[in-house]
Amino acid sequence: MTGIDGIDGMGNAMGLDEVDLFGDPVIARAPPPSKQLRLRLDELRTRGCCQAIAWSRQGTIASVSKNATSIDLRFLRCHPDTGAWDMSAPTPCSVLSPVQSGVPIVHLAWAPTSSPELAVIDAVGRISILSFSITLNRPYATRKWDADAVDDLNAVVGCYWLPLTTPGRQFHVMYGPAVWSTTEYKIENTILASSGPWHPNSGKSALLCVTAGGFLKLLFSQNNNRIEETSLELESVTSSDDLITHASICSNRNTLLIALATSSRQLRVVQVAVQWGTPQPADKQAQAPPGSMHLSPSLKERNVAVTSWFQHGPGESIVDMSMTQLSHVEMLPSVGDHTSEAQAPPVVLTVRSHIPQDGSLYNQECQSIIDRWEVLSDRPQALHGAFDQLGSKNSSSQIPPMTRLRKLDSIVVPKVVISIHTMQLGKVICFAFSDGTVQYRDRITMNEVYNEHNLSTIMSPHQVGFQFTNETPCLQAAFSPTNCSFVQICEDASIKWNKLRFPMENLSAALQGNQFSAILAALSISISPAAYHQMNCDDILAIARPFTQKPDFGYTWVRAIVNMIKVAVDYSEDSHHDQLVRNHHLQFCLSILNHLGFHGEFQPRSFGGKFAMLALNVRNIVILITIANNTPVNLKEKLSPLDDAEVVEALAGCARWAVDLLSWLSDCIFNLWNEPTFRAIIEDPKRFPELSNYMQARGDVSLHLLLCSSTRGFLSAACRRLIHLEALSNRAIQFYQKTMTPEAASRPAPALYVAYMRMQRATSSSLIKVAEFEKLVAALSAEIRTSYQKSLAGLAARSQQDPKSGQQQGPDQVVKRAQTHAELDMLLAGNPPPSFREMLVRFFKANVAAFKAQTDPAKLYFSNFELLEVEDDAGSLALKKAKGGYIDVFKRVAMVKPGEGEEGPQWRRCARCASVMEDVLGNRPGFTFVLAQQRKCSCGGNWGLLPKGSLVN
């Protein structure tokens, strides 16, 4: 066979473009775009709302199922066997009403609320709203779409959840950049005003939707939690050319800016004001309307500007001119210009993407054209005064401001944009592409950022070596709350999680010197929004976990976070426990230590992990007991938690756990004083710096729990609540015994009476006297305060004599700063100050000896403290694994894993620390009120509902 057909010598035909006829290098053709990508691009061009995957601020990843008739729920979770992070298996959502025949679900949108709400929208604009108030993967329907009309003109082409506000704090704090200053990084911060409109009740949001028929709908929650709706006609639709295909909404200076794109290539910007019918902010009542106030919102529109979104010029290529279909429209609010103090104006951003046609003879590339228009307001020129004489007396020579759209230079990217995401409070725009890559651009200049190694000024982990790896072609992408990872819908419809990674081959070198400081700064800046806004940051914990091979990584990172966001850690002065318990930033830091010290439920914890675990759990118990005993005044007539047997049963379990903790601590400090090495260390000034290393080698956190003022405060609060519960249970039992008749004695005892009996046994049968332990803690606190006063008095005197040492700080501030430094050292397993040595010797010889004389050390030594899960020697862990037992972190009772073939009760597992609790649902007000405080785990992680009979999701 001859000719072209036999050119490869194998009898197989080859294309001419694959043959090197002239000896030049052959340029390989890019693989043609897939059919799935073509269909996805057609979908993006057809409707503005078609996002089938979305990631909530609290960590739930919702995605539309493959057949588009339901949604699946996933989340990141720490595997209980190893502590490694991965994405959970999908949980089908079962609370959605059946979809209309042939009408797919097309869009998902999360509200910014702390109790996550998800809007589920189908192709004809029907809207369901789901609330995830307890677990990440079990919602409750708060609005069903059953009553919504089935009409194509109601199809949603743009939607937006209103931002949240905190009364009296209508601003945001943005941390970063980290700037290298001689020996360390200094992290700057910026205060930025937040922009409304907001829902009148802080903590609530409202959903705005633009329909293809030109209506703006507002779905809002009344003060009785009922969802209502109001609407406004934005555009009169009389023909198919008037139909709105894409819309985007943003908050800008307490009004809404809406960009509308129509079938006739028109681009309009309108401004909408929302008036809730409540008192104005200047009024005294305006902080938050009372629950009885009825909201009657109204929407008022003002046309701003209009142009065409397809504006081609003589210099554009034929491909550019042929791209006459939009895939994205984004309305971006004004932001602060980093080059000046002025505000950069709002911008309308559009994307037009091109994919080569099948069978094309030319090696055309995919490309996207990004167009931008600034929304500018020109100052009007005043008319000559003579014009006033021509009109009526009420006429004015003032001309209203003129607003126009100014076209900026287009940007061409040789890829297909599938997602646009803003970050860092709107200062950076992130583009996700169909090849699985991402690109960051400055919001004002549109220059690429974070694409170069830069250790002098850090704002992103990309600048210090982190990168996304294993790029996979995809159709859609959704970013995490921290923007440090994203999930993709791949071309085979699978869901993939891609997080930032540091090159493993450089990991050892990265844990030293300036590179390590840069990594800490980047991770701290990345996690700061989660600390400030109390949103999920589990992906950053997953990114940071490989660095735990450096033993002090967790301590160093938490120290950087404490210094950056100014976490209060010094509670050595007498202060109300309420301030300590409400310190969410401290809980956040302990949660990081707790997770980084966890290596699997049957593996030993690190010293810091054990310390943080006990601190977080005792804090949680203090909160539960306090909540149950302090019903809000406005709810006292409706509920009384202490009259609910289930509440009392739970508090009895908490009391038993707290008593065991105090007993275990007592046993530990008795054993310490019996150790010759320990006594030699604290009695010898030269050996005292060895104390922390000695305690870490023993794996004994008892001394640090007592010396650190925050954990000592938790212990003191637990003692007081145990004493209160004992008195309460005694009074309740006496009441029942007095009122119980002889006939009633023959019948089963009431459940509440039995619960109080259990509480009384838990508090009164302690191996130690709780009141005496509280005195011991109080005595230690007094000794520590005295030690601080003596040791730091000289520092205060020197700061007065040397003005330079106390620049802009008085002696009290200098002392406070030194005291805080010492407290932070002890919180992070550091050595106590040298001045503590003599105090500790006195404390053990006098106070501990006196306390020991009132207890039976032998009973403590042989006691079983498995409820605390603190014993992590090989024998204890093997026994725990053989028994298959778990501790319910709410009721503090033992739970047994179901056997083979047994279904058993349904459990929840914390996505961050792998703790478990039974999935209890109360139907009585008192129990529901107390259970609501357990919406999150004691570590601050979120609950994931486990499948029945399974311990892993």
- Taking only the tens place, the pLDDT of each residue in 920-937 is 887 788 888 898 888 999
If DSSP codes are grouped into helix, strand and coil, which group holds residue 232?
A: strand
Name the CA radius of gyration of the chain, rounded: 32
Residues 869 and 913: their CA atoms lie apart, in Å, by 13
The answer to whether 92 and 72 are in contact (CB under 8 A) is yes
Per-residue pLDDT of 668-695, as tens digits, reads 999 999 999 999 999 999 999 999 999 9
Task: Name the 3-class secondary structure at 641.
Answer: helix
> What does the pLDDT look like over 860-882, one tens digit per residue?
988 999 999 999 889 889 988 88
Distance CA 365, CA 368 (A): 10
- Residue 239 in any domain: the answer is no
Secondary structure letter of residue 939 according to DSSP: T
Q: Is the peptide bond before 177 cis (omega within 30 degrees of 0)?
A: yes
For the stretch 74-127, pLDDT in tens is 999 999 999 999 999 999 998 888 888 889 999 999 999 988 999 999 999 999
Q: What is the helix (H) or strand (E) element at residue 560, kind and residue range?
A: helix 553-565
Say how far apart CA 479 and CA 186 lie, in whole Å. 28
CB 412, CB 434: distance < 8 Å: no
Domain that holds residue 746: 597-857+865-945
Q: Where are the beta strands (DSSP E) in 94-155?
A: 105-110, 117-122, 127-135, 138-143
Q: Looking at the domain assignment, is residue 736 inside a domain? A: yes
Amino acid, res. 65: S
How far apart CA 32 and CA 28 sit, in angstroms, is: 12
Looking at the DSSP bridge assignments, the partners of residue 488 are 477, 496
Residue 888 has which token pair?
Answer: 């319910």
- CA-to-CA distance for 136 and 936, rounded, in angstroms? 10
Q: What is the pLDDT of residue 1?
A: 39
Dihedral (CA of 435, 440, 442, 445) sign:
negative
Task: Classify each residue of 395-431 as buried b or exposed e, where b means 16 or more C-beta atoms within 10 Å of its C-beta.
Answer: eeeeeeeebebeeeebbebebbbbbbbbbbbbbbbbb
Query: Strands 85-87 and 76-78: what pairing?
Result: antiparallel
| Residue 636 lies inside a defined structural domain of this protein | yes
With 60 as the cut, is the pLDDT of residue 29 above it? Answer: no
Q: For residue 28, is pLDDT > 70?
A: no
- The predicted model scores a pTM of 0.92
- Rounded CA separation 612/615 (Å): 5
User: Which pLDDT value is given to residue 99?
Assistant: 83
Report helix, strand or coil for 220: strand
- The answer to whether position 315 is within a domain reads no
**Which of the four pLDDT bands, split at 50, 70 and 90, describes residue 12?**
very low
Q: For residue 890, give both structure tokens.
A: 């709410």
How many CB atoms sit inside 10 A of residue 882's CB? 9
Say if residues 160 and 249 touch (Cβ distance below 8 Å): yes
Q: Domain for residue 377, yes or no?
A: no
Residue 738 lies in a domain: yes
Q: Is the pLDDT of residue 353 over 90?
A: yes
Q: Tokens standing for 659?
A: 């008593």
Q: How far apart are CA 320 and CA 731, in angstroms?
A: 83
Q: Give mean pLDDT, residues 30-38.
A: 86
Residue 10 lies in a domain: no
* Cβ atoms 594, 613 nearer than 8 A: yes
- Is 905 within 8 Å of 607 (Cβ atoms)? no
Examine residue 4 and state whether it is found in any structural domain, yes or no. Answer: no
pLDDT in tens, 571-630: 998 767 889 999 999 999 999 999 999 999 999 999 999 999 999 999 999 999 999 998
Query: Quick one: how many helices (H) and strands (E) in the chain?
Result: 23, 40
Mean pLDDT of 809-825: 87
Enumerate the β-bridge partners of residue 63: 53, 72
Mean pLDDT of 405-421: 95
Q: Which two tokens stand for residue 25?
A: 């290098």
Residue 371 has pLDDT above 90, yes or no: yes
- Please check whether residue 524 is in contact with residue 563, taking contact to mean a CB–CB distance below 8 angstroms: no
Q: Mean pLDDT over residues 187-196, rounded?
A: 88
Q: How many domains does the chain have?
A: 1
> Is 14 a residue whose pLDDT tops 50?
no
DSSP annotation of 504: G
pLDDT at position 66 is 93
Contact 407, 373 (CB under 8 A): yes
The beta strand positions in 289-366, using DSSP E, are: 298-308, 328-332, 335-336, 343-344, 347-354
Does residue 285 carry a pLDDT above 50? no
